[in-house]
Structure formats: C-alpha cells, structure tokens
Amino acid sequence: MSGSFRRRGMPCAATLLAGLFLIHPALAGPAPDRARSTARVEFTAADLAAAKPEGLPASVRLAGDDPQAYRAFLAAAPQAGAAPWLALSGGGENGAFAAGLLKGWSQAGTRPDFGVVTGVSTGALIAPFAFAGRRYDAALQQAYTEVSAADVFEFGGSGESLTDTWPLKRQIERSVTPALLADVAGEHRKGRRLLVVTTEIDSGRPVLWDMGAIAAAGGPSALKLFREVMLASAAIPGVFPPVMIDAEGPGGKRFQEMHADGGTTAPFFVAPGRAILGQDPEAGGLPAPELYVVVNNGLTPDFQVTSRTMLSILGRSLSAAIRAQTAGAIALTKGYAARTGLPLHVAFIDQRFGRTSKAPFDRDFMRALFAHGERVGQAGTAFDWSADAITTSTVRAEAEGRRAAMR
C-alpha cells in the first residue's frame, strides 16, 4: 500500500484502519491499567424505550427514525424555521473543511445564525461551536489545525475497540466548558435548535440529542452528558470504544446504554429516513427557508493499490462504502428538497483541493484543508456545486472507477 492516503477526504474509519497498519503494525493489546469491565446490567427493549438519561428529563432526546416525534419536536420550536438550517457530516480529520468554511463564511459577513444545526460524528464536534456563533471560530480553528493523532486516540484499547480515545475525551473536556454550555443554552432559549446524532447500539437506532435542552438544564449532569454525546457521536465502531451513558428505566432501574458514531446510521442528518424517502404520509417539508449541507469528504473514487492485509483491505472497502452512502444520502436529500420546495446547497471536498494526507490526523494536511475551506467560504464559492452537478459527477466518477478497475 502506498504511504499516502486518500486525498480530498478519505472517510475517517477507512483512514484510521489503513493508517493503523502503517503506523503501528503490531497493535498493542489492552493495557492492564486500562482494563474495564464488560459486564452489563440486563435490561429489555421496553426498558430502553422508556429510559431517560440519568439526572435529566427524557425530553432532551428523541428517536432519529421517528417522523412523528420529529414533527412534534419542530412544532415546539417555531423559531427554528426563521433562519436557514445547517447539517454537518462526518469525516474525521476532514472536519477541518467545515471548520475553515465556517470561519471564511464569517469573514465574508454572510453567514446566517442558523435556525437548526445538526451534527454527525466529526460534525458533532463542530456543531456546538457553529451553533454558539462566530466568536467560536478561533476555537474551531485550533481544534482542527493544532491537533495530531496523539490528541485523538492511543493504540491498544480494550476488547471493544482497536484504540482508546481518552485523548479525545480530554480534548472535549477542555473545549466544552460551562461557558460554552451557557452560550448554547442562551441560543436555545431564543428558539434555535442544536441536534447531535448518535447510534444506540442495542437497538440499532439513531438518537437525536437536543443539546440546547441539555445545556439549558444546567449543572454537572448536563455538562457530563453534553460531553458524552459529543464523544459518542464520533466513536467509530470497532476503531473507537463506544460511550456508555447512564440511564434510568421504569421503576428507577439503572443501566447503561451503548452509544457510538452517528454516521453508522447516516452520514448527515436532515430528517428521519422515512420522511426523506417520502414514506411518511403525514410528513410535509421542513420549516426551513434554506438548507445548507457541509460534507466533510470527497465524493469521487481515488485509485490506490491495496496491500494484502486485513486492515488495508477493510479500510479501502469502508472508504468505498462510506463514499457510496454519502452520495446516496445527497441524492435522496436532493429528491426530498425538490419534492418539498426546499432550496438545497451542498458543499464537499472537491477537486479544488488536491493535498494528500500522510497519516491519520496529519496536522499539515488538516491545516491545508482548513485554509481551503476558509478560502471558499470567504469567496462564497463553497456551495458552487449544485445538487444536480454533485449527483451527475459522482455517478460519472463511480462509473469511471469501475471501468478502470476492470482494465
């Protein structure tokens, strides 16, 4: 396998799996001082359905695949439709693109105060700062230009994962402060909404966390849960450990829910899948005047001779799967937007950026990608690609990739 990685945004899980082999061929086993109990308190599907996060009301979250619950959530926040919406995708280190785009957008003076902001995976790490406003642009720049792999994960996890993410947990603890929660709570009280998506592993369902409601609840329990949800949304299954969230079920029964990467169920979130597919007879359009989707990945195939190793093969395969999932999600969102009359704007890492990443969370690569995002954000060209152009170019590139592979 080449010593360089997918340029213009190889999906994070694939980058890590390929990079783990190159950086550390003999992956360490679980360290003795890091051993954690894998025993779980038994609970039922009914217990899980009725559970609430310990110390907070059940209303701080809802099922991400339930159109009725989503409609009720939006109906209770009429101001959420007063301004454009922003959906931030997953993509690991490629979140530097969205972070730079937001800063450039601020510099251009045209960035809206979004009515709703949603975040998945690395998008979840960006979303609270994007929601809290332009004054957090510097914090995003630091988070995506001053970190390295050592600030995100460490080799040798437990039986749950290949790595341990205690460094990322510490990063989140330092950046997600009581002051940030107060600012998020203040914007929430104005009627704006911030949603972060995780995947609840036991049920296999997406969960929407109302981060503004969590912040507004205040206190140590709210701060703890806010940080846990952000960490969980970026927890790539098998690569990063899941996050165990304390829950209280019927009759005061206590157990732990297992949450992981929101990108497991969707690369970005706009509405429940049934609504997007037109399978919900009661669904109308979103109450958003416009929708901006920032995809922290490239969409076109990238040729690379793959070595005959498990991690290399799995990494390349995941890259193709995630790219196809993202392209499919954009196509479905395009159809939903056309059907409901919603203006849609999509930005992604296109051919204007050609830098190559040497390893997972390569600082020079992230700085270059941040600078690219900042340039196109300031110039107003980040969303130049229409949904039609994205779909057409992606289909054409996929076909060319298949033809090249057959030669």
90 phi and psi angles, rounded to 5 deg: -75, 180
Q: Identify the active-site residue in 89, 121, 161, 233.
A: 121
* Nearest residue to 370 (alpha-carbon basis) of 44, 146, 119: 146
How far apart CA 28 and CA 156 sit, in angstroms, is 5
CA torsion angle 216 218 223 227 (round to 10)? -10
CA torsion angle 128 75 205 208 (round to 10)? 10
Pairing of strands 193-200, 116-120: parallel
How far apart CA 125 and CA 144 sit, in angstroms, is 10
Residue entry with tokens 């846990």: 228
How far apart CA 224 and CA 208 sit, in angstroms, is 17
Pairing of strands 344-348, 243-248: unpaired
Q: Which helix (H) or strand (E) holds 255?
A: strand 254-261
Q: Identify the active-site residue in 66, 164, 261, 350.
A: 261
How far apart CA 302 and CA 244 sit, in angstroms, is 36
Determine whether 261 is an active site residue: yes
3-state DSSP call for residue 120?
strand
Residue entry with tokens 């213009």: 8
Determine whether 221 is an active site residue: no
4 phi and psi angles, rounded to 5 deg: -105, 160
Contact criterion met (CB below 8 Å) for 125 and 143: yes
Integer CA distances (angstroms), 264 to 13, 125, 243, in order: 11, 16, 14
Give catalytic residue positions.
121, 261
